[in-house]
Chains A and B, each alone.
Chain A
Amino acid sequence: MPDLISHIGFGYLVGYRYKSSSWMALFLAAMILPDVITRAVYIVFPQLYWFVKPMHTPLGVILLSVLISGFFHKKARNKVMLYICAGGMLHIFLDTLQKHMHGGYLLLFPFSWQPHEIGLIWPGETIYFTPMWIMVILFVILWKNKPGKDDHQKLLPTESTK
């Protein structure tokens, strides 16, 4: 899959206009959730690969969002679930842009074991885009925080300061 920086970068581009940094953080966390929750387990315990792999499928992402939203306050649960679903599904979509010699992504699991992918780029080649993602994020952050019209008005002398 693309590295996590690429996932975060793409997620940031999708949601940069959103004003709440907390909800944005949740969305970005959801962008990396399928990898974090599966790889952290099966790298250490390879025999558990298939037990955790369903969490990297669309149905698994939905169940994860249900599970995680259950820990939140009642008023936020549905919105949390929506954000985690959105981030997780976007993560899976980005992953399908990669191609593999064997395997792929089980988009229809558990109804089908057929792997699917769009297959544009080898997984190892995604790291060449990481500097680009970092620059894009920095550019968007700087552009969002540039001095705007309101800021200029605040800098102008007022009657009381003349």
Chain B
Amino acid sequence: MSKTRIRIGLIGLCLLGIYAMYAAPTKNIATLVNAPQKYAGQSVEIYIETKIDAIDDTGFWIRQGRNRLRVLGPSTGIKANDFVSISGIMDSSAVMHLKSVRPAKGRRLKMAISLLGLGLIFLLIITAVEWKDGTLRINENA
């Protein structure tokens, strides 16, 4: 085992991750809801694991994890629980005025299909790689 490589990889990835968390230009719902005055009048895009939570006559709610955001605008082409990519203008009361929304069609089916692929690779890897004498080794006899 190479501790140097492991340290370089771990520290490098952590630094990149921390930098990305603080410098990312894309906003999430929690940020918009917690600081509505800061984003009032701004155009924002939200697309990370964003789902339609509920639809009513004047608009709909979107959700990221436990955070929800009110969106005013037409709900044509979307339905509850759709994953969406959305853009709009924020107002001072943390409400988004819709510019565009696009559902991510087929996403759940893709995830289900991908689980099959993941299972296949898992089976291949456990036969291809073995732990021996404190390190991983490629099983050349597999």
A residues engaging B (CB < 8 A)? 3-5, 7-8, 20-23, 25-26, 28-29, 32, 35-36, 42-43, 45-47, 49-55, 57, 59-60, 63-64, 66-74, 76-77, 80, 100-103, 109-110, 113, 122-127, 130
Chain A nearest CB from B118 CB (Å) reads 6
Neighbouring A residues of B138 by C-beta, 8 Å:
20, 22-23, 26, 72, 76, 80
A122 & B13 in contact (Cβ 8 Å cutoff)? no
B64 & A46 in contact (Cβ 8 Å cutoff)? yes
B residues engaging A (CB < 8 A)? 1-6, 8-10, 12-13, 16-21, 23-26, 28, 30, 45-49, 64-65, 85-87, 100, 102, 104-107, 109-111, 113-114, 116-118, 120-121, 124-125, 127-129, 135-140, 142
- Secondary structure at the A interface, as helix, strand, loop or mixed, is helix
A64 & B9 in contact (Cβ 8 Å cutoff)? yes
A3 & B113 in contact (Cβ 8 Å cutoff)? yes
- Nearest residue, chain A, Cβ from B63: A46
Chain B nearest CB from A72 CB (Å) reads 5
A25/B110 contact (C-beta < 8 A), A70-B2, A70-B6, A101-B47 known: no
A66 & B5 in contact (Cβ 8 Å cutoff)? yes
B136 & A66 in contact (Cβ 8 Å cutoff)? no
Neighbouring A residues of B106 by C-beta, 8 Å:
123-125, 127
Chain B nearest CB from A119 CB (Å) reads 14
Chain A nearest CB from B140 CB (Å) reads 6
